[in-house]
Chain A
Amino acid sequence: MVRETEPIANNERAFVKNVILEGLRVDNRSAHDVRTVKINFGSQWGHSEVQLGKTRVAATVSCEMVRPSPAQPTEGIIQFSTEFSPMASPSIESGRLSEEEVLISRLLEKALKRSRAIDTEGLCIVAGEKVWAVRVDIRVLDHNGNVLDCACIAAVAALQHFRRPDVTVVGEEVTIHSLDERSPIPLSIFHIPICVTFAFFSNGERQVVDPSLLEEQIQEGDMTFVINIHRELCTLSKAGGIPIEGSQILHCANIAAIKAAEITELIKAANMESQTRKEKKKESKRE
């Protein structure tokens, strides 16, 4: 489809900028407010759907048994695949990678894979013979700004919710127990990296957390922190845009740490709720 993202009128541009200069935002948030986060889990293991305001991302985790790479015979494999579904925005065409899509999938991989958040050695079944390959499919369903942060929450939530089937190894023989036969095993996760994105306005004088689509189109620069609850910085990305002073980066990092802690708690609470709901369902089935 030819339809591109609609151009923004100069008046609207000026309005958004002026509002931010006054310390307000068009959608009635304060500068450091994140939009409402809603986390839903599917009835099957490892399926999450996250809404960040009007942005919506779904993540699905699946696993299969494969032969490990000869270079790392004792390590499992984790793969991330990020896709913008054509339903997310009219300018997205299926089969064609946009610049934004590449940027987001690379950053997500850095945030979740390179920060060694998931224990890959724990995914080994028989060294050099059989390991688990975990695949995380991230699908952007509705693009209303700050897809990266939303996708990160979805991926992390799905990974925490995921259970793999239990296995027993007797000599050379490997038995996979079905999910009903033995209680399935969660992945061992070392830490939970959370993305927090800032957008800069009026020559870097003002910054806002979690920019909406409108703000994203007007922003003069952006920066993403990937940080965990222990205040450890995993990834920092500032791809172009206006130059920022060092002190401002530190200031932003402190805000990011607070936001990351809040979001981690939200994911934990949602996971607990889904767990108890699952147990209740199981009990009612037995009766």
Chain B
Amino acid sequence: MRPDKRNTNDIRVTHTALGQLHRADGSGRYQFGDSSVLCGIYGPAAIGLRDEKLDRAVIEVSFSAAHGKSTTRERLHERLLRSTFETAILSALHPRTGIRITCQTLCDDGAVLATSINATMLALMDAGIPLRSVITAVSCMVDKEGEVFLDPTALELKEAQSTHTFAFDNVSGGVVSCESTGVFTEEEYESCYDICKQGSDAIERFLRHALQKKLEKQSGLDFGKS
């Protein structure tokens, strides 16, 4: 039994919001329980001559934590986010431009990386940037007894032997990026993969629903239930 009465393969209550920012070209907010990340996107827009690439759009990511000075952990998250979304964005359609992604953690209660990947995905969809596929992420942890828990909170993470974050692609169904820390066996890693795969399917439905609701509101049409 978990402290918040969830099953081991349950994700926390999820909340999504699209287009809350007025200045940004696209924005998304994603919440896993108390963990919440806001993402804003500008672009594709002109960038400095020195930075532009002739054959594709340059993707710039900045990530900041909920409080405190920025550390190497934030730089690592930026790198992970950039390489994850470089595979999803059809950047060749907008050569010599830049797409700027900014993630701001509002509340940190574990699984911030997965939350920010999902928030960025929402923002990209809101900004209308051409994508190859939809990417969804979820984390899990393995405790000292070898039991796997999906979407751990900060409290649960204190007991973690290893933590894993997987980002899945909805077209091929494969893993786009994964980050693991701690000590774990091959079997544990495989069970983490399975449990995260199930979780990510649920998240994909959430994202689809959020976008559908927004489009229905904008167009006044009913797209039916998916």
Residues of A within 8 A of B (CB): 1-3, 42-44, 47, 49, 54, 56, 58, 60, 62, 81, 83, 85-90, 94, 135, 137, 139, 141-144
In the assembled complex, how far is the CB of residue A33 from the closest CB belonging to chain B, in whole angstroms? 19
Contact at A85–B34, with CB atoms within 8 Å? no
User: Which residues of the other chain, B, contact A43 by a CB distance below 8 angstroms?
Assistant: 34, 107
Contact at A86–B62, with CB atoms within 8 Å? yes
Alpha-carbon separation in the docked complex, A144 to B64 (Å): 21
B225 interfacial by beta-carbon distance below 8 Å: no
Residue among A49, A81, A90 making CB contact with B45, cutoff 8 Å? A90
Alpha-carbon separation in the docked complex, A48 to B98 (Å): 32
B100 interfacial by beta-carbon distance below 8 Å: yes
Alpha-carbon separation in the docked complex, A3 to B69 (Å): 27
Contact at A144–B100, with CB atoms within 8 Å? no
Alpha-carbon separation in the docked complex, A94 to B74 (Å): 13
B109 interfacial by beta-carbon distance below 8 Å: yes
User: Which residues of the other chain, B, contact A81 by a CB distance below 8 angstroms?
Assistant: 69
Contact at A86–B102, with CB atoms within 8 Å? yes
In the assembled complex, how far is the CB of residue A155 from the closest CB belonging to chain B, in whole angstroms? 13
Residue among B23, B45, B48, B107 making CB contact with A47, cutoff 8 Å? B107
B39 interfacial by beta-carbon distance below 8 Å: yes
Contact at B98–A141, with CB atoms within 8 Å? no
Q: Which residue of B lies closest to A62 (CB)?
A: B67
User: Which residues of the other chain, A, contact B203 by a CB distance below 8 angstroms?
Assistant: none
Contact at A85–B104, with CB atoms within 8 Å? yes
In the assembled complex, how far is the CB of residue A245 from the closest CB belonging to chain B, in whole angstroms? 35
B192 interfacial by beta-carbon distance below 8 Å: no
Contact at B67–A60, with CB atoms within 8 Å? yes
Alpha-carbon separation in the docked complex, A1 to B102 (Å): 13
Contact at B40–A42, with CB atoms within 8 Å? no
B202 interfacial by beta-carbon distance below 8 Å: no
Alpha-carbon separation in the docked complex, A1 to B66 (Å): 24
Contact at A1–B47, with CB atoms within 8 Å? yes
User: Which residues of the other chain, B, contact A144 by a CB distance below 8 angstroms?
Assistant: 22-23
Alpha-carbon separation in the docked complex, A49 to B104 (Å): 13
Total interface residues in chain B, CB < 8 Å: 31
Contact at A141–B38, with CB atoms within 8 Å? yes
Residues of B within 8 A of A (CB): 20-24, 27, 34, 36, 38-43, 45-48, 62, 64, 66-69, 98, 100, 102, 104, 106-107, 109
Q: Which residue of A lies closest to B38 (CB)?
A: A141
Alpha-carbon separation in the docked complex, A47 to B35 (Å): 12
In addition to A90-B23, A142-B24, 9 A-B residue pairs with Cβ atoms within 8 Å of each other are: A1-B98, A2-B45, A44-B107, A85-B104, A87-B23, A87-B39, A87-B102, A94-B102, A142-B23
In the assembled complex, how far is the CB of residue A95 from the closest CB belonging to chain B, in whole angstroms? 8
Contact at B23–A58, with CB atoms within 8 Å? no
Contact at B38–A87, with CB atoms within 8 Å? yes
User: Which residues of the other chain, B, contact A83 by a CB distance below 8 angstroms?
Assistant: 64
Q: Which residue of B lies closest to A86 (CB)?
A: B102
18 CB-based A-B contacts, threshold 8 Å = A1-B42, A1-B45, A1-B47, A3-B45, A42-B34, A54-B23, A60-B66, A60-B107, A85-B102, A88-B23, A88-B40, A90-B23, A90-B42, A94-B102, A137-B67, A141-B104, A142-B24, A143-B23
User: Which residues of the other chain, B, contact A3 by a CB distance below 8 angstroms?
Assistant: 42, 45-46
In the assembled complex, how far is the CB of residue B61 from the closest CB belonging to chain A, in whole angstroms? 10
Residue among B22, B45, B64, B66 making CB contact with A142, cutoff 8 Å? B22
User: Which residues of the other chain, A, contact B69 by a CB distance below 8 angstroms?
Assistant: 81
User: Which residues of the other chain, A, contact B23 by a CB distance below 8 angstroms?
Assistant: 54, 87-90, 142-144
Contact at B39–A49, with CB atoms within 8 Å? no
Contact at A85–B47, with CB atoms within 8 Å? no
User: Which residues of the other chain, A, contact B64 by a CB distance below 8 angstroms?
Assistant: 83, 85, 139
